[in-house]
């Protein structure tokens, strides 16, 4: 019998598998397919202060080993989520929910987080300072250690819930940003968000995605994410949610060995809506094969010795 | 929606770039003509959304136009190939709203979902008029199959090499009693059909670059007069009054 329980900054998850923000909506579509209660948690769609319509079409392109998206944080806004989605989530998932919070200013981040204080089921705030598909006057909080720390401090000041900062890979030294967040009081980190990329249509000679660039995700980014989780694990002591190209139980274990306490599964859900369920089901056997009885012992396992 | 394996039974080339595929498998998730399936292909990360041409309890018919690597690979699959399919996606056409004199208007590969729709409307004695448009006679396909269903059939080609010379809108103008349209085809055609004054109302099937195909990723949302809608989940059929061109 393998114990799959993991602990994220005091929040216990029955297993380390978490659908990643932006690939799982608010759970509705997947709840039609399987009982979401098998999941460790789920990270809801990045939610901003006001409703956002997102970017023009097309928003999606394909590549070998993955895809690009430029959805642009389309979401109904924090108030609508609390009024309409939270009650529905309570019906379809009884575990701890991770609220992914977007924003374009310090005030928007803090206001959104404050509004979630009374939402009992939200156990972790995942603060997205890394979306590559929105433009806030050129400012990207996740690209500058000072700005990342500033958001972390501001959010920590208005909430008692654990705060996980979601980091962008589109930086020179992600460990430096991670450390800045930790020093500013972050309870944990989630990495990576998508890598900035683009595709061009040969006939029209124009970018396929209307936004010109999009975020790259899927199996092709897995080694990049793994390396960054490794680097960040060396730099900080707070727990890491490893995210980026995870598509199988094997990937999840590898991500944990690099330093992740839990994993988020993103693009794999879009290709196979049962991807998370399959990973959860395959983890016990894989752990047994590897002689692992407590999955949490895998975290950082590749760093020792 | 259901995820299951389908087996390719046969593939038949219809024109230079268009193929008919018949697959066997569990079609129980399909509830209406105009829905689509999303097919996983080896070596491709994203599935390929393909409109359902027709279905029975255990067979699925698709018409596929080769437009890129994925569709090329799909039509090259040999009989016996097993394909991972998400079936029963999208809202589909609503036949209850079609009235006494419906016209079904299709252009190019967009005629595919109209075949199953025609068959079902005939079974329901809704007496549809079917108007199909192609670029030339050489590009035309499924004309005999539609004719065999026993519907009133009008054909237009741009060069007049088959049917009337012109567009599918010219066919619709020739049947002024038809006041409700169910339509699928290229965007300029949908737009032209949409603007025909004789049409009181109608349903239009849209295509989009999709991520998931089942409403989760927000990759294919478009603005409508009733707010943003996901082409894959809230569509692909949109209603005349809500469409924003």
Question: Which residues in B lie closer than 8 A to residue A219 (C-beta atoms)?
Answer: 45
Domains of chain A (ranges; CATH) run 6-55+72-195+216-298 (3.20.20.70)
Q: Nearest residue on chain B to A74, judged by CA atoms? A: B218
Would you call A59 and B1 a contact, using CB atoms and an 8 Å cutoff?
no
B165 and B193 belong to one structural domain:
yes
Domain range for residue B186?
95-205
Q: Is residue B227 part of a domain?
A: no
Which letter does DSSP use for residue A134 in this model?
-
Q: Are residues B69 and B118 in the same domain?
A: no
- A202-215 per-position pLDDT tens digit: 999 999 999 999 99
Q: What is the mean pLDDT of chain A?
A: 95
User: Which whole number is the average pLDDT over A278-293?
Assistant: 98
Whether B39 and B123 share a structural domain = no
Specify if B84 maps to a domain: yes
Q: Are the C-beta atoms of residues B104 and B204 closer than 8 Å to each other?
A: no
Q: Is residue B141 part of a domain?
A: yes
Q: Is B221 on the interface with A (CB under 8 A)?
A: yes
Provide the shortest C-alpha distance from residue B147 to chain A (in Å).
Answer: 37
Q: Which residues of chain B have pLDDT under 50?
A: none
**Interface probe with B: pick from A270, A272, A276, most Cβ of B within 10 Å:** A270
Residue B208, pLDDT score: 93
Average pLDDT over residues A181-208: 97
Q: Report CB contact under 8 Å: A64, B45.
A: yes
Could you tell me which chain A residue has the CA closest to the CA of B29? Answer: A33
Instruction: Give me the half-sphere count of Cα atoms (radius 13 Å) on the Cβ side of residue A45.
Output: 31
* The pLDDT value given to residue B5: 98
Q: Are residues B109 and B192 in the same domain?
A: yes
> In this structure, are B146 and B120 located in the same domain?
yes
Residues A133-156: tens digit of each pLDDT: 665 544 579 999 999 999 999 999
Do B197 and B128 sit in the same domain of this protein?
A: yes
CB B212 within 8 A of CB B232: yes
Test mutation, B49, B68, B216, chain A, max A CBs within 10 A: B216
Per-residue pLDDT tens for A89-117? 999 999 999 999 999 899 999 999 999 99
A131 annotated active-site? yes
Q: What is the pLDDT of residue A138?
A: 43
Residue A226 backbone dihedrals phi, psi, to 5 degrees = -60, -45
Mean pLDDT across A183-191: 98
Determine whether the interchain pair B209/A57 forms a contact, defined as Cβ–Cβ distance below 8 Å. yes
User: What's the domain count of chain B?
Assistant: 2
B158 plus B113 within the same structural domain: yes
In a domain, B241, yes or no: no
Q: What integer pLDDT is reported at residue A140 of this predicted model?
A: 77
Closest chain B C-alpha to A174 CA, distance in angstroms? 27
Contact B218 A65 (CB under 8 A): no
Residue bearing tokens 């008919």: B20
End position of a domain, from candidates B89, B111, B126: B89
How many beta carbons lie within 10 A of that of residue B144, not counting itself? 9
The structure's pTM equals 0.94
Catalytic-labelled residue, pool A131, A243, A276, A287 = A131
Query: How close B70 comes to chain A (CA, Å)?
Result: 11
Per DSSP, the residues of chain B read -EEEEEEEEEEEE-SSSEEEEEEES--TT--STT-EEEE--TT-SS-EEEEEEEE-SSEEEEEEE--SHHHHHHHHPPTT-EEEEEEEES----GGGS-SSEEEEEEGGGGHHHHHHHHHHHHTT---EEEEEESSGGG--SHHHHHHHT-EEEEEETTSSSSEES-HHHHHHT-TT--EEEEES-HHHHHHHHT-TT-SEEEEE-----SSSSSSS-TTEEEETTEEEETTTT-SEEEGGGB--
Domain harbouring B53, CATH code: 2.40.30.10
Instruction: Give the CATH number, domain containing residue B128.
Output: 3.40.50.80
Task: Please list every residue in chain A whose beta carbon sits closer than 8 Å to the beta carbon of residue B212.
Answer: 23, 269-271, 273
Whether B35 is in a domain gets the answer yes
Structure token pair of residue B74? 């799909």
Instruction: Please check whether residue A272 touches B, CB under 8 A.
Output: yes
Tens digits of per-residue pLDDT, A242-275? Answer: 999 999 999 999 999 999 999 999 999 999 999 9
Confidence category of residue A1, pLDDT binned at 50, 70, 90:
confident
Give every CB contact of residue B195 below 8 A, 6+ residues apart in sequence: none
Q: Does residue B210 belong to the interface with chain A, where contact is any CB pair within 8 Å?
A: yes
Specify whether B76 is located in the same domain as B24: yes
Give residue A137's pLDDT.
43
Q: Which of B205, B222, B238 is the last residue of a domain?
A: B205
Q: Are residues B103 and B76 in the same domain?
A: no
The burial class, CB within 10 Å (0-12 / 13-18 / 19+), for B225 is exposed
* C-alpha span between A89 and A96 (Å, rounded): 11
């Amino acid at each position: 019998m393998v114990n799959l329980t993991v602990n994220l900054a005091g929040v216990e998850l029955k297993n380390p598998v978490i659908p990643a923000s932006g690939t799982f909506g608010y759970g509705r579509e997947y709840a039609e397919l399987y009982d979401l209660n098998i999941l460790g948690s789920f990270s809801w769609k990045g939610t901003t202060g006001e409703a956002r319509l997102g970017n023009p079409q097309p928003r999606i392109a394909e590549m070998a080993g993955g895809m690009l998206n430029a959805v642009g944080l389309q979401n109904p806004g924090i108030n609508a989520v609390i009024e309409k989605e939270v009650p529905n989530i309570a019906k379809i998932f009884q575990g701890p929910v991770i609220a992914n919070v977007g924003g374009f200013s310090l005030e928007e981040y803090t206001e959104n987080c404050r509004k979630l204080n009374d939402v009992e089921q939200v156990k972790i705030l995942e603060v997205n300072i890394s979306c590559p598909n929105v433009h806030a006057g050129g400012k990207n909080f996740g690209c500058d250690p000072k700005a990342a720390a500033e958001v972390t401090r501001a959010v920590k000041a208005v909430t008692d819930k654990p705060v996980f900062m979601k980091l962008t890979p589109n930086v020179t030294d992600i460990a430096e940003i991670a450390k800045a967040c930790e020093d500013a009081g972050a309870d944990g980190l989630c990495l990576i968000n998508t890598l900035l990329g683009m595709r061009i249509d040969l006939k029209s000679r124009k970018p396929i995605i209307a936004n010109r660039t999009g975020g790259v995700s899927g199996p092709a980014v897995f080694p990049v994410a793994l390396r960054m989780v490794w680097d960040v694990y060396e730099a900080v002591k707070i727990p890491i949610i490893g995210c980026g190209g995870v598509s199988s139980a094997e990937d999840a274990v590898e991500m944990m060995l690099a330093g992740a306490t839990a994993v988020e599964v993103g693009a794999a859900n879009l290709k196979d809506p049962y991807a998370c369920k399959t990973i959860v089901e395959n983890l016990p056997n894989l752990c047994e094969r590897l002689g692992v009885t407590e999955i949490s012992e895998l975290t950082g396992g590749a760093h020792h010795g | 929606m259901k995820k299951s394996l389908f087996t390719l039974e046969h593939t038949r080339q219809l024109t230079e770039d268009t193929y008919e595929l018949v697959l066997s498998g569990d079609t129980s998730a399909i509830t209406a003509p105009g829905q689509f399936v999303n097919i996983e292909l080896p070596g491709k990360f994203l599935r390929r959304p393909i409109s359902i041409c027709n279905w029975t309890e255990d067979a699925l018919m698709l018409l596929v136009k080769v437009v890129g690597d994925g569709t090329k690979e799909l039509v090259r699959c040999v009989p016996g190939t097993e394909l991972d399919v998400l079936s029963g996606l999208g809202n589909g056409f609503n036949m209850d709203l079609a009235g006494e004199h419906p016209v079904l208007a299709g252009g190019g590969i967009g005629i595919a979902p109209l075949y199953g729709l025609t068959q079902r409307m005939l079974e329901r004695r809704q007496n549809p008029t079917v108007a199909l448009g192609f670029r030339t006679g050489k590009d035309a396909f499924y004309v005999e199959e539609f004719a065999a269903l026993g519907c009133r059939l009008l054909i237009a080609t741009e060069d007049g090499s088959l049917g009337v010379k012109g567009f599918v809108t010219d066919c619709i103008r020739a049947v002024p009693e038809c006041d409700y349209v169910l339509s699928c085809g290229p965007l300029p055609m949908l737009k032209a059909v949409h603007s025909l004054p004789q049409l009181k109302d109608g349903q239009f099937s849209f295509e989009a670059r999709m991520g998931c195909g089942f409403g989760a990723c927000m990759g294919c949302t478009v603005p409508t007069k009733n707010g943003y809608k996901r082409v894959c989940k809230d569509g692909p059929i949109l209603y005349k009054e809500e469409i924003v061109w």
